Amino acid sequence: MNAPIVVDSVTALRAQVREWRRAGRRVAMVPTMGALHDGHISLVRIALERADRCVVSIFVNPTQFAPTEDLDKYPRQLARDLDRLREAGAHLAFTPGVSEMYPAGFATKISVGGPSSGLETDFRPSFFDGVATVVAKLLLQAAPDCAVFGEKDYQQLCVVRQLCRDLDLPVEIIGAPTVRDAHGLAMSSRNAYLGEAELGIARQLNVILRRTAAALSTGTDEADAIEDATKAVISSGFRKVDYVAARASVTLAPWRRDHDGRLLAAAWLGTTRLIDNVEIASV
Ligand code: PAF
pLDDT tens profile 184-208: 999 999 999 999 999 999 999 999 9
Write out the H or E segment, with its range, that includes residue 49.
helix 38-50
* pLDDT at residue 26 is higher than 80: yes
Give the single-character DSSP code of 180.
B
Write out the H or E segment, with its range, that includes residue 210.
helix 196-217
Contacts of 142 (CB under 8 A, 6+ apart): 13, 14, 17, 27, 29, 55, 57, 94
Average confidence (pLDDT) over 242-252: 97
Position 259 scores a pLDDT of 87
126 CA → ligand 1 middle, Å: 14
Determine the Cα–Cα distance for residues 134 and 228; give it in Å rounded to an integer: 37
Position 137 scores a pLDDT of 98
pLDDT tens profile 45-63: 999 999 999 999 999 999 9
* pLDDT at residue 159 is higher than 90: yes
Determine whether 37 is an active site residue: no
Position 171 scores a pLDDT of 98
How many other CB atoms are there within 10 angstroms of residue 87's CB atom? 11
Q: Spell out which residues line ligand 1, taking CB within 6 angstroms.
A: 31-33, 61, 64, 131, 134-135, 153, 156
Q: Which atom of ligand 1 is nearest to the CA of 135?
A: 9
2.120.10.30, 3.30.1300.10, 3.90.550.10, 3.40.190.290: CATH of 189-280: 3.30.1300.10
CATH code of the domain made up of 5-176? 3.40.50.620
Position 104 scores a pLDDT of 98
Mean pLDDT of the chain: 97
Which residues of the chain are in CATH 3.40.50.620 domains?
5-176
Q: Among 23, 16, 81, which residue's Cα sits nearest to residue 54?
A: 16
188 CA → ligand 1 middle, Å: 12
Q: Which atom of ligand 1 is nearest to the CA of 150?
A: 1
Position 80 scores a pLDDT of 98
Average confidence (pLDDT) over 128-145: 98
Are 264 and 153 contacting, i.e. CB atoms less than 8 angstroms apart?
A: no
* pLDDT at residue 232 is higher than 80: yes
Torsion angle in degrees (nearest 10) through CA of 235, 241, 245, 250: -130
Average confidence (pLDDT) over 249-270: 95
Which residues of the chain are in CATH 3.30.1300.10 domains?
189-280
pLDDT > 90: percent of the chain: 96
40 pLDDT band, cuts 50/70/90, is very high
Average confidence (pLDDT) over 160-179: 98
Residue with the smallest CA separation from ligand 1 atom 6 is 32
157 CA → ligand 1 middle, Å: 10
Residue with the smallest CA separation from ligand 1 atom 9 is 131
* pLDDT at residue 278 is higher than 80: yes
Model confidence, pTM: 0.97
